[in-house]
Amino acid sequence: MNKTNFALLIYGIILMVGGFMGYYYADSFTSLLSGTISGIALVICSLLMMAKKRYADFLALGLTALLTVVFATRFSKTGAFFMIFLTLISGYLTILLLMKVFKTNRHD
C-alpha cells in the first residue's frame, strides 16, 4: 500500500467516524448517512487504486474535491471547528497526493 492509498483510506475512515459522531452528538441521520456513504466510496476507491484501476484515481479526486468544497462551505457557515477542520485538512492533503499521482502517472 502506497502513501496515496493509505491517505485515501484514512480519509474515508475519518468521514465515517465523522458521520457517526454527527449522529451521536447531534442526532443527525443525514450526517450518518452521508459520512458512511462517502467514507465507504473512498475506501472502495483506495482498494481499486491498489488494483491499478485508473478510473479510481479520477473518481477519488472528484469525490475528495467535492467533499472538501462541501466542508469548506459548512465551516464558513457554522464555524464548527474540530470535525469540519479535520476533514478539510485531511481532504486537502489527500487532493495533493492524488494530484501527484496524476502528475507522475504512477502510484507510489
pLDDT tens digits, one per residue of 25-69: 989 899 899 999 999 999 999 999 999 998 999 999 999 999 989
Give pTM, 2 decimals.
0.85
Residue 17 has pLDDT above 70, yes or no: yes
Residue 107 lies in a domain: no
Q: What is the mean pLDDT of residues 88-96?
A: 88
For residue 92, what is its C-alpha cell? 486537502
pLDDT attached to residue 77: 83
Residue 32 lies in a domain: yes
Number of folded domains in the chain? 1
Residue-wise pLDDT tens digits, 73-88: 888 887 777 777 788 8
Compute the residue count for the chain. 108
Residue 51 lies in a domain: yes
Q: How far is CA 4 from the centre of its chain?
A: 12
Q: Residue 50's domain spans which residues?
A: 3-100
Separation between Cα atoms, residue 33 and residue 41, nearest integer Å = 12
